[in-house]
Copies of this chain bind each other. A is one copy, B any other.
Amino acid sequence: MAKTKPKVSPLAPEAFPTIPPIDGVRVATRACGVRYKGRTDVLLVELADETQAAGVFTKSLTASAPVDWCRKSLPGGIANGLVVNSGNANAFTGRLGEDAVEQVVEAVADRLACRPSRVFAASTGVIGEPLNFKSITDNLDALAADLAPGKWDEAAKAIMTTDTFPKGAVKEAQINGTKVTIAGIAKGSGMIAPDMATMLAYVFTDAKIPAPVLQGILAPICERTFNSITVDSDTSTSDSLMLFATGAAGNADRFSGPDDAALKDFRTKAEAVMRDLAHQIVRDGEGASKFIEITVTGADSDAAAKRIGLSIANSPLVKTAIAGEDANWGRIVMAVGKAGEKAERDRLNIAIGGITIASNGLAVDGYDEAPVTAHMQSPEINIAVDVGVGNGRATVWTCDLTHGYIDINADYRS
């Protein structure tokens, strides 16, 4: 059952970014031996009183016990703690799983002197095995004693599973003339491989924004970032994205709603942080050798454009062609056709690396192949498709499908 430990993805950023502490957030990590040996596997985060919380969770109908817990607690809108373990997903563990979450969350609430419903949780790792929650609760005193500002790289490392590098991102923004910081960490390397991967992302800000407004900001950004990436079309039982606002920056916080003009810069920068994290997950895609951006225009609606984009991004035939550095637009046409959305065959345009290779339903006779070939050999591939029926548009990101994916996911026992 042992997985070959992959080296760092060739598409990884050069280094973990420098991220300043966020006022109102303290972090601790520890090697608790939930499953892994010799590495940290529990992250504890303490959040200031009245920290506002927003979240988006997996659409899987077999969600994990901690996801069920978070969904139940989110309407309260306030978070004082977050506890995440790697090594065990606490999914498909039935009644035992619910108990384990309650045990962990209550023990954390005790240390942070808050209500359990203000403690959020996540677990990522093998599924179907009972979570040894005592390995976590036995270490909570030590974790609580270690709480300190900053340490984002440690936090990002503690939640890794099959990830080959820790993922972080940061931006500053202005709200009503006050500077705020938005910092995030994430993990994920298959869109999900439920026995070892899952998508988790936590974004922290010192901005003062009420929970309902925060949720209204988070949901559409999630659609355009984390919900616009795919590695292998598989969906985890544990996917979680949360945004916590401590309010320590003390900005003026009367907002008409999530679309308030005073929040424009915050929305832009928060999206930049989440897009960066989402891209890093794709860059750590299992076996990935190419980062692929697919933009679909001319669709019936933005949602239709996204479905067409994901149909292209999830096609094994498109992904293997790109792995082979083959500008195989025939497979792109096929993926457009199978998406089930309106497309006008005789108005379809396809460009690769900025060069139009199919236009108005026909291969472009004698297009300049040299720059397309050069583009296909680079690690960043750009595909633009116009389906010729409307104004809908969307951009999605994926990686190629290589022998590395099979190596990581086919556990040859024989």
* Beta-carbon contact of A329 and B128 below 8 Å: yes
Interface flag for A331 (CB, 8 Å): yes
User: Is A326 interfacial (CB-CB < 8 Å)?
Assistant: yes
Q: Are the CB atoms of A61 and B412 closer together than 8 Å?
A: no
Verify A334–B61 contact, CB threshold 8 A: no
Q: A244-257 interface mask toward B, CB cutoff 8 Å, 1 = contact, 0 = none?
A: 00000000000000
Tell me, rounded to whole Å, the shortest Cβ–Cβ distance linking A238 to chain B. 10
Give chain A interface residues in 327-364, CB to chain B under 8 Å.
328-331, 333-343, 345-346, 348, 358, 360-363
Q: Which residue of the partner chain B has the closest CB to A335?
A: B234
CA distance A340 to B329 in the complex (A): 30
A409 in contact with B324 (CB, 8 Å): yes
Give residues of chain A (383-409) contacting chain B, Cβ–Cβ below 8 Å.
Answer: 401-403, 405-406, 409
A242 at the B interface (CB under 8 A): no
Alpha-carbon gap, A320 to B196, bound state (A): 14
Q: Name which residue of chain B comes closest to A1, CB basis.
A: B326
Contact B406 A326 (CB under 8 A): no
- Determine the distance from Cα of A194 to Cα of B376 in the docked complex, in whole angstroms: 20
* Complex interface: stretch among A16-24, A73-81, A175-183, A311-319: A311-319
Most buried by B among A126, A233, A330: A330
A282 within 8 A of B: no
Q: Which residue of B lies closest to A328 (CB)?
A: B195
A316's partner among B95, B126, B409 (CB-CB below 8 A) is: B409
A139 is an interface residue with CB less than 8 A from chain B: no
Inter-chain CA distance A231–B91, complex, in Å, is: 29
Say which residue of B190, B345, B410 sits within 8 Å of A321 (CB atoms).
B410
Q: How far is the CB of A294 from chain B (nearest CB, A)?
A: 16
Residues of B within 8 A of A343 (CB): 61-62
Q: CA–CA, A334 to B377, complex, Å? A: 34
Interface-centre pick from A128, A317, A329, A360 (highest chain B CB count, 10 A): A317
Closest CB in chain B relative to A82 CB, distance in Å = 24
Q: What CA separation (Å) do A195 and B335 show in the bound complex?
A: 12
Interface size class, chain A: 35 or more
Q: Is the CB of B62 within 8 A of A345?
A: yes
In the complex, chain B residues whose CB is within 8 Å of the CB of A377: 414
Measured CB to CB, the nearest residue on chain B to A126 is B330
The reply on A115 being an interface residue by CB < 8 A is no
Given contacts A324-B413, A334-B60, A343-B61, A92 and B1 within 8 Å (CB-CB): no
Does A163 have its Cβ within 8 Å of any Cβ on chain B? no
Q: How far apart sit A250 and B129, CA to CA, in the bound complex (Å)?
A: 63
> With an 8 A cutoff between CB atoms, is A236 at the interface?
yes
Shortest CB distance A1–B (Å):
7
- Residues of B within 8 Å of A95, CB to CB, are 346
Cβ of A410 to closest chain B Cβ, rounded Å: 3
With A60-B338, A61-B343, A334-B235 given, is the CB distance from A129 to B363 under 8 Å? yes
Chain B residues with CB under 8 A of A373:
413
Residues of A within 8 A of B (CB): 1, 58-63, 91-96, 126-129, 190, 192-195, 232-237, 314-317, 320-321, 323-326, 328-331, 333-343, 345-346, 348, 358, 360-363, 373, 376-377, 401-403, 405-406, 409-414
* A-B contacts besides A324-B409, A401-B410, 19 pairs, CB < 8 Å: A59-B338, A61-B336, A61-B343, A62-B334, A62-B348, A63-B345, A92-B345, A92-B361, A93-B362, A94-B346, A127-B330, A194-B333, A195-B328, A234-B315, A234-B331, A236-B334, A320-B409, A320-B410, A328-B411
